[in-house]
């Protein structure tokens, strides 16, 4: 499951360095045309949106993996202090902590997305996170992918272009 950290590291790198890669203008290598700042801004906004989805999916999958794996049989002790110690033991597990950091980064990416796109356009795309979690949970954790779930995934994907219509 260590390979799940690759998208997280990529998204973190993009949040930190993303503006430098696309600042001001870009080039279309097929036509040799320089993009304007508006086109570049939309590209950046969609990368932030993709980073939001990727970090959210990473967080959900890594939490599921750790909580159902290492901490599956964890008993909550009696008393306040033992509960606090147990909570910190879980929170500071490196993988669980990386999931919490990914959730925070997802929030930062979402704020960046909102500064560049209309919420009515961007928010339907976040449902791709549901699609990815359902599909990857079947692949990685052996959860059932029955006809109802697959039908639901198809409806979600079909609804994204419909729900995002009308935005600038």
Q: Which tens digit of pLDDT belongs to each residue from 79-136?
A: 888 888 888 888 889 999 999 999 999 999 999 999 999 999 999 999 999 999 999 9
Residue 33 sits at φ, ψ, to 5 deg, of -105, 135
Domain shared by 106 and 166, yes or no: no
Domain shared by 24 and 64, yes or no: yes
State the pTM of this model.
0.71
Sign of CA dihedral 106, 112, 114, 116: negative
User: Is 156 within 8 Å of 131 (Cβ atoms)?
Assistant: yes
Host domain of residue 74: 2-116
- How many domains would you assign to the chain? 2
Domain shared by 49 and 124, yes or no: no
Domain shared by 145 and 100, yes or no: no
Q: Share the mean pLDDT of the chain.
A: 79
For 123-145, how does the pLDDT look when each residue is reduced to its tens digit (9 = 90+)? Answer: 999 999 999 999 999 999 999 98
Domain shared by 69 and 81, yes or no: yes
Domain shared by 111 and 126, yes or no: no
Structure tokens that stand for 70 in this block: 């290492």
CA separation for the pair 61, 96 (Å, rounded): 10
Chain centroid to Cα 143, Å, comes to: 20
């Amino acid at each position: 499951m260590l390979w799940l950290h690759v998208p997280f590291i990529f998204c973190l790198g993009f949040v930190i360095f993303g503006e430098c890669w696309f600042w001001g203008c870009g080039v279309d290598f097929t036509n040799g045309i320089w993009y304007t700042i508006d086109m570049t801004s939309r590209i950046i906004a969609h990368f932030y949106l993709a980073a939001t989805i990727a970090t959210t999916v990473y967080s959900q999958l890594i939490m599921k993996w750790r909580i159902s794996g290492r901490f599956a049989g964890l008993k909550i002790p009696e008393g306040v202090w033992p509960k606090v110690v147990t909570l910190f033991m879980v929170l500071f597990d490196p993988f669980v902590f990386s999931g919490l950091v990914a959730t925070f980064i997802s929030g930062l990416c979402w704020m960046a997305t909102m500064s560049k796109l209309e919420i009515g356009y961007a928010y339907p795309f976040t449902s791709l996170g549901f699609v990815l979690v359902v599909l990857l949970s079947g692949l990685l954790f052996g959860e059932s992918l029955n006809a109802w779930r697959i039908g639901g995934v198809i409806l979600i994907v079909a609804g994204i272009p419909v729900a995002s219509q009308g935005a600038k």
